[in-house]
Amino acid sequence: MESNDGEDHSQKLLLAQTHIWNHFFSFINSMSLKCAIELNILDVVHNYGQPMPLSELIASLPIQPSKAAFVPRLMRILTHSGFFSNQNDDDQQEERYVLTNSSRLLLKDHPFCMTPFLDVLLDPNLVKPWYQLSNWFKKCDTNKSPLEMEHGRAFWEFASHDQKLSNSFHEAMTSDSRLIASVVIEKCKDTFEGLESLVDVGGGNGTMAKAIAKSFPNVECIVFDLPHVVAGFQGSSDKNMKYVGGDMFEAIPSADSVLLKCILHNWSDEDCVKLLKKCKEAIMKKGKKGKVIIIDMVVGNENGDNGSLETQLYYDMAMMAFVTGKERTEKEWAKLFFSSGFSNYKIIPILMSSRSLIEVYP
């Protein structure tokens, strides 16, 4: 018995050590994927049109001949991480690679390409704030994020002075809006049926609003964002869509509905209440009781899986590090709504519960 107890204890220690090692090294997954994208490996394999032999892959990459022997090791970790599948038969000596569903979302010409997100999150200027996290917890000034502690500017101001980061961020938001729009229009048509007008607050270049305007031609869509954001788009609108500049904390154009896609998670509870009150004013100006449509995460949604929950928790930590916002549980969302003067809400999970659509009513 003592021997077995000793073996069990040793096994538990080894498992614990493995768990810790894997956490220590988890950044290697991200950096290996970044390397593969920068070497164009994903698009090279995709363009080959069939399972690609390792030798053909190596010959197609912009690498030094002396580095060829290292490619199999890079491909091994990427295959283990689920970005490639090995298709070699038993009688084939050479590894042959094909893409997976995950890696297809990283192809350059994919309409929902997620590569810009990788460029943003692994930008050295956005990695540095994580080194401030423990110092941030020790500081009294909670109005500053770790990013602001590191760079001396809040995220939005900092990004506006970094053209590369700004471009990647806007590309990421555009790609995300395409995906969200396609899912929302397919799964949540009832949300938009019967509306006469909609304001997309913080709508950027209008990707989301364009999709709604096209699918629901009877809905007048307004893309509302800061004046310098919409300046280049005004006058280029579709017949049932226009761009308006302004400050969402000052006033929001009147409409039957206000759309907030991935906006509220950027802000503190206090700022969210201010914004939601402005939204309520906007949907009640015409004497009607409209609704606010929120697309954001609901942390711990019971319909989600463990992978979705992990995504939500990572996002929440990113909001802590980069801005003053957070991802919220249903209880936290409800508190915001009722504090802003709304009476009811409805949550509809849309992206395997990593994102939800919330309808909020006065």
d(CA 7, CA 274): 59
The number of CA neighbours under 13 Å toward the Cβ of 53 is 6
- Residues 78-87 have pLDDT tens digits of 999 999 999 8
Q: Which of 46, 110, 151, 265 is catalytic?
A: 265
What domains lie within the chain, and their CATH numbers?
2-104 (1.10.10.10), 115-361 (3.40.50.150)
CA angle 21, 25, 29 (to 5 degrees): 140
d(CA 160, CA 335): 32
pLDDT band for 211, please (50, 70, 90 cuts): very high
197-201, strands of its sheet edge to edge: 241-245, 220-225, 197-201, 257-261, 291-296, 356-361, 344-349
d(CA 57, CA 120): 27
- Residues 2-41 have pLDDT tens digits of 557 777 888 999 999 999 999 999 999 999 999 999 999 9
- Residues 47-70 have pLDDT tens digits of 999 999 999 999 999 999 999 999
Which uninterrupted H or E stretch holds 42?
helix 41-48
pTM of the predicted model over 0.85: yes
On the 0-12 / 13-18 / 19+ scale of CB atoms within 10 A, 162 is middle
Is there a catalytic annotation at residue 80?
A: no
CA angle 49, 52, 54 (to 5 degrees): 160
Q: Which residues contact 55 (CB under 8 A, 6 or more apart)?
A: 94
Give SS3 for 198: strand
d(CA 15, CA 21): 10
Q: Which residues contact 97 (CB under 8 A, 6 or more apart)?
A: 45, 51, 52, 54, 57, 75, 79, 84, 85, 86, 87
What is the rounded radius of gyration, in angstroms, for the C-alpha atoms of the chain? 24
